Amino acid sequence: VLTGLSQNGVVQAEDDAGSGWGKITEAYVNSEMTVLRLQFSESIVNPGNCEGADFYVRELDDSIASDRFLRVVLAAHLAGRKVKFWIDGCSGSRWWGKTRPQIYDIYIAD
């Protein structure tokens, strides 16, 4: 079990929550490699009251942490593994016209 990859160790209690266990049903990364969009088999958790809550995003950058996070998410998706996300507020940008719940950590089930 992978117990989580994070961008940093700071947790903001009022804007984060766990997603519950489910499967990634669709993954998309834009051509600039700046955003990961994930459809999920379970209801989308929206603790930050983001404008849109029909999928999760993870804003990416050129850091090692973003690269590792993307690799772990895609490996879990391709393997059909159940995952659970930790959601930390809303995206900084308006992806597909709205701010979205942003994934902070991922947990992978056996």
Rg of the chain over Cα atoms, rounded to whole angstroms, equals: 13
pTM of the model: 0.82
What single-letter amino acid sits at 8?
A: N
User: pLDDT digit string (tens) for 19-67?
Assistant: 999 999 999 999 999 999 999 999 999 999 999 999 999 999 999 999 9
Question: What span, in angstroms and rounded, lies between the C-alpha atoms of 60 and 62?
Answer: 7
Secondary structure (DSSP) of 31-62 = TTS-EEEEEESSPPP-TT--S--SSEEEE--S
